Homo-oligomer: A and B are copies of this chain.
Amino acid sequence: MASLYLSTCRAPVNIAVIKYWGKEDERLIIPTNDSLSLTLSIDDLCATTTIAASPDFSKDRLWLNGKEESTSTERIQNCLRAIREAAASRSSSPNPEWKLKIISENNFPTAAGLASSAAGYACLVASLKNLYGLEGNYSSVARKGSGSACRSMFGGFVRWHKGIQPDGEDSIAVQVAPSSFWPEIRVIICVVNDVKKDTGSTSGMQRSVETSELLKYRIAEVVPRRIEFMAKAIAEKDFDTFARITMQDSNQFHAICQDTYPPIRYMNQTSWDIVSMVHKYNSKHGSNKLAYTFDAGPNAFLFCLEENVPEIVEVLRTQFPSDSTDFIRGMYSDDIARKTNLSSALACELTPLPPGSLKYVITTRAGEGPTPIQEHLTIE
């Protein structure tokens, strides 16, 4: 073998608190509005991608979670082409004309509906950047793979600016605050049991753009104002406001889905049970200590501060009884947070729901953007 270049990166999942729903340009993946997200720690959820480049390879090949997939989709081609052009203009090595073998895996079930494509495309672009030794903001390349992937190119709080250029080159993600800025933030992911097939987000948002009258107003009036309020709440570490806007924007996104024709429904009964639980919890506390947000599926992403995690985990255990020995996973797993006693005022609000409606809970925190897990390796 003449020579082999290797690059491996991990990339995170991100959860939008101001939602992206609707494309202005379907092909270039330019969104109808800015969005804002929190990047989650790769300790608990991540994609890992290894890329090998060699003059011996006869074609580009790709394996996703152990299964070979085509590299000829427009989305993958757009990412590969953009990075190779950038590499060629900088005369990087390895030679950008060499073919690639790409191996990508998620450490969580794709079926869980946890934004796997965002982590996956961010990881692809990060690994390619690393392979060719490129520097700078390549979020617009990740965007061409999967819109929200651009936000996974940075850690902490990230804003995806829709941009104004027709070619989408200024439709990029920018870090608003690093994860270290507000280190107390915790994320609790409730993975809901669901048998139903969801409307995919690509076709769903297209249908919303075509049929929802309310989406026009959301894009033109609501999001531009709301995203500024949200940025201010983050800058001031005002959790009560951060939580309220997060919940309002999740609700508005699902309202837009319902205003779509035919209507789209992502939240099921368990999702709504979680909504009720969160509002009860906040009402007992007299302020928002917990926030929910739902993406294009029934799973809840809850935000809170570190100090409230033990109580909230206990609230979840009480409301959603489970026989599972690893019901609570991640940084606060079952063996760590087991002994909290709920106040009687809170406990009596929580009628246990039928067992099994929540599959499991992943506890995690904010984290960094894509990380090379080894220097790129050159075997010659």
Interface residues of A (CB under 8 A from B): 211, 213-214, 216-218, 221-222, 244, 247-248, 251-252, 254-256, 258-263, 265, 268-269, 272, 275, 279
Contact = CB atoms under 8 A, between A and B. Distances in A.
Contacts of A255: 214, 255-256, 258-259
14 contacts: A213-B221, A213-B252, A214-B222, A216-B217, A217-B217, A244-B261, A247-B261, A248-B261, A251-B258, A251-B259, A251-B263, A255-B258, A255-B259, A262-B275
Contacts of A260: 251
Interface-central residue, A247, A252, A279, by most chain B CB under 10 Å: A252
Contacts of A248: 211, 259, 261
A144 B260 CA distance: 34
Q: How many copies does the complex hold?
A: 2
Given A268-B269, A275-B263, A214 B252 contact: yes
A213 B255 CA distance: 11
Nearest to A213: B222
Main secondary structure of the interface of A (DSSP, over half): helix
A279 B259 contact: no
A259 B252 CA distance: 5
Contacts of A269: 268-269
Contacts of A211: 248
Contacts of A279: 262
Contacts of A258: 251-252, 254-255, 258
Given A213-B252, A244-B261, A252-B258, 16 more contacts: A211-B248, A213-B217, A214-B214, A214-B218, A214-B222, A214-B255, A248-B259, A251-B261, A251-B263, A252-B259, A254-B258, A255-B259, A258-B258, A262-B275, A265-B272, A268-B269
Contacts of A263: 251, 275
Nearest to A265: B272
A245 to B, nearest CB: 10
Contacts of A222: 213-214
Contacts of A244: 261
Contacts of A259: 214, 248, 251-252, 255
A254 B221 CA distance: 21
A258 B275 CA distance: 11
A77 B256 CA distance: 40
Contacts of A214: 214, 217-218, 222, 252, 255, 259
